Amino acid sequence: MTGPTATATQAATVVGTPALNFSIFAFFVVVTLVIALSVARNNNSATDYYAGGRTFTGFQNGVATGGDYLGAATFLGTPGIIAIYGYDGILYSVGFIVGWLLVLLLVSEPFRNTGRYTMADVLDLRLKAPSVRAAAALSTLVISLFYLLAQMAGAGVLVSLLLGVHSSAGVDAVIAVVGMLMVFYVLVGGMKGTTWVQIIKASILAVITAVTTIWLLSRTGFSLPALLHHAVAASPHGTAVLSPGLEYGKNTVSKLDFISLALALVLGTAGLPHVLMRLYTVPNAREARRGITWTIWLVGVFYLCTFVLGFGAMWLVGDKKILSATGGSNSAVPLLADKLGGTLLFGIVAAVAFATILAFVAGVTITASASFAHDVYAGLLRHGQADPADEVRVARISALVVGMAGVIGGIAAKGVNVAFLVSLAFAIAAAANLPSILYSLFWPRFTARGALWSIYGGLISSVVLIIFSPVFSGQRKPLGGTSSSLITDPHINFAFFPLNNPGIVAIPLAFFLGWLGTVTDRQPADAARFARMQVRALTGVGAERGGRSL
Amino acid sequence: MALFQPSRGSVTGAATFQPSRGTTDSTEASQAGRGTASGYEAVRASRDFWTIKRRFGSFVAPACTLFIVWYFLFVIIAVFAPGFMRISVFGDLNVGLCFGLLQFASTFAIAAGYRRWARRRLDPLADRLRHRLEGGRGQ
C-alpha cells in the first residue's frame, strides 16, 4: 500500500502515479454520473430544475451546502497557508466558519419563506421593482463568474499535478472535457443531480480529510501539542508560526488588509448566491435551519482538521518543498498525503481535490443559469409570464453558456494566480447582496431606490477597487509563493488602492448607500408589502412547500 | 414540539381578517398581495405575531451582536496586539490558538442553541399563525 514513491516536487515532475490518480477520479465521475442520470427523470418543472423539487431533507441539504462551500481553495488553500505562515491561516479560516452564523440567524429561514428560486425573488416580493430584479441578477452573475474563473483556473494547476499532463494543449483539453462533463450534470440532473453530486463530494471530502487527519495524528501518539512541537521545530520561522503576524502583520497596510478580508469573510457567506439558492431545495424554513446547522458542524470540523493537516505539512513536508512544488502552497495537502500514505493516499486526495473543483463548478453553474433564466428571461423579458417549460429550456441553454464561459476563462487564466478571486467574490457578495437582503427583510422603510443604490454601489465600488488594487497590478511581493498581481509586468502599476480586499470600504459604503437611497426617496415604502414580507418571513405562510409533508 | 403548551392568549385578531385561499405563489403580488393584504396586516397586528417577532428579536439581536463583537475582538487583537496572542497557556499552546479554537466552540454553541431554542419557542407559534392565515389548509 505504501510503496516507494517519487519524492520529486519540482515543477516538471509528478507525485504518485497518474494512472492511479486518474482511475480514482474516473470512479468518482462514473458514480456521480449514474446518480445524476437516475435522478434526472421528472426533471422538467421549474421547481424540479431549480430547487430539486424541494424534496431534500435538512441534513441532505446541509451536507450539500457544505459541499458547495468547501471548494478546492479550502481543501488545498487553507492548509497550504497554515503550512507556510502558520497561525495566519487559522485567522483566515475563523472568518469562514463564523460567517455561517449570519446565514443561520438572519437569512436562512426568512429567505426560504419569502423566495422561490433566486435571491431576486426575495427582493421582488418586498419591493416589486423590475430594476431591482435586474440588479440582483447582475450581481449574482458577476459573483458566479468570479468564482467559476477561480475554480477553473485552479483546475488547470491540479490537472498537471495529478494527471501528469504538462503540455499546454493537454491541460486545456482536460479542462474542457471536465468542464463540459459538469455542465452535462447540470443539464441532465438539474438541481437534484447537482445536489447529489455535492452530497457525494462532501461526504468523500469529509471522510478523506478525517482519515488523513487521524493518520497524521497517529504519528504523534494523538497528541496535538507534540504535533505543534514538531511543526515549530521544522519551520524556519520557529515559534512565530504559532501566533499571528507572519503574513498579515508586516505593516499597517497589511493589517488593514486583513481586517478588510475578515469583514468580507464574515459578511460574505450570507450573500453568496449559490449558498442562498440551496435554501430552496428543502420543503420548508425549518428544514433550511436544520440544514444550515448541519453545514456549520461539517464546515467547522473540516476546518479544524485542516489546521492539523497544515501543521502536519509544515512538519513532514516542510515549506521549501511545498513552495517549490507545482501549485505552490496549494500542494501542501497532496504532498502530505504522499508522505503519510504513499501513492494510494496521494491519488485519493488528489482525485478528491479535483472532484471538489468539478462539483463546485456544477453548483455555481446552476446558480448562474437559474438567475439568468428566472430573473432575466422570465422576470424581465417575459414580465413574469414565461411558460415554465420555456424557462427551464432557457436555464439549460444558459447553463451551457455559463459552463463554456467558465471553460474558456479557465483556459485563459491558467497559470495566473487567481486564488484571490475567491476572497474577492466574498467581498462582492457582502457589499452587493447582503445590505439589500437585510434591509428588505428587516427595515420597514426600505425602498427600491435604496436597493438599487446599495446593489450597484456595492458591486461597482468593490469591482473598481479590485481593479485599482495590488491584486491587479504593481505588486511585487508574492503571496503564498506564487506570482502576485494579475498583470505580472511590474512596470504597469495603477494600484492606487493599497488593499488587496475591498471589503472595508465597499461593504460599509453599500450599507450607507442603501440607507441614503431610501431616506432621500420621495416615494414612501409600501407598508402593506413590508407587513406581508414580515408575516411570511416569520410564519412561512404562502411559502412553496416541497413534495414531502412533515 | 407537540408538547409545547401555549402560554399566552391565542385568540387575538383571528376573526378580523380574511384567510387567504391558500396561495402557493410566493412572488407575485397579483395573487397573494391584494386579496389578503388586510389579512397580513391583521396578523401583523395580532398578539401572537407580536410575540413571535419579539421572541425572534430577543434571541437573534443579542446573538448576532455577541458573535460579531467576539469575532472582531479576535481579529483586532490578532492584528494589533499579537504579543497577547503569544502568551503561553500550556507548552506550545498559546492564547492565540485557544482564542481561535474558542471561536469555533462559540459558533457551534450558538448554532446548536439557536436550533434548539427556535424549535421550542418559535415553531409552535409560527405554525399556529400559518394555519390561521391559510384557513386550516396546508400540510
pLDDT digits (tens, 9 = 90+) for A245-285: 887 777 888 889 889 999 999 999 999 999 999 999 999 99
Q: Which helix (H) or strand (E) holds B89?
A: strand B88-90
pLDDT over 90 (residue A367):
yes
CB–CB of A544 and B26 under 8 A? yes
Q: Going along A469-508, which residue ranges are E strands?
A: none
In this predicted complex, what is the ipTM?
Answer: 0.89
The tally of CA atoms less than 13 A away on the side-chain side of residue A488 is 9
How far lies A151's CA from each of A193, A283, A396, A419, in Å?
20, 30, 21, 8
At A480, is the pLDDT very low, low, confident or very high (cuts 50, 70, 90)?
Answer: very low
Residues of A in contact with B18 (CB under 8 A): none
The pLDDT value recorded for residue A182 is 82
Distance, in Å, from the CA atom of A247 to the CA atom of A237, rounded to the nearest integer, reads 12
A-to-B residue pairs, Cβ atoms closer than 8 angstroms: 185
Distance, in Å, from the CA atom of A86 to the CA atom of A314, rounded to the nearest integer, reads 8
Distance, in Å, from the CA atom of A81 to the CA atom of A306, rounded to the nearest integer, reads 10
Domains belonging to chain A, first-starting first, are 18-539 (1.20.1730.10)
pLDDT over 80 (residue B53):
yes
Going from N- to C-terminal start, the domains of chain B cover 31-133
Q: A503 or B37: whose pLDDT is higher?
A: A503
Q: Please, which residues 68-127 of chain B have a Cβ atom closer than 8 Å to chain A?
A: 68, 71-72, 74-76, 78-80, 82, 85-86, 90-94, 96-97, 100-101, 103-104, 107-108, 110-112, 114-115, 118-119, 122-123, 126
The pLDDT value recorded for residue B131 is 85
Query: A218-232, B35-49, B67-81: lowest mean pLDDT where?
Result: B35-49
Closest Cβ opposite residue B79 in set A90, A258, A539: A258
The angle, 0 to 180 degrees and rounded to 10, between the axes of the packed helices A285-316 and A332-370 is: 150
What does the radius of gyration of chain A's CA atoms come to, in whole angstroms?
Answer: 23
The pLDDT value recorded for residue A6 is 36
pLDDT over 50 (residue A407):
yes
What is the pTM for the complete model shown?
0.88
The tally of CA atoms less than 13 A away on the side-chain side of residue B21 is 3
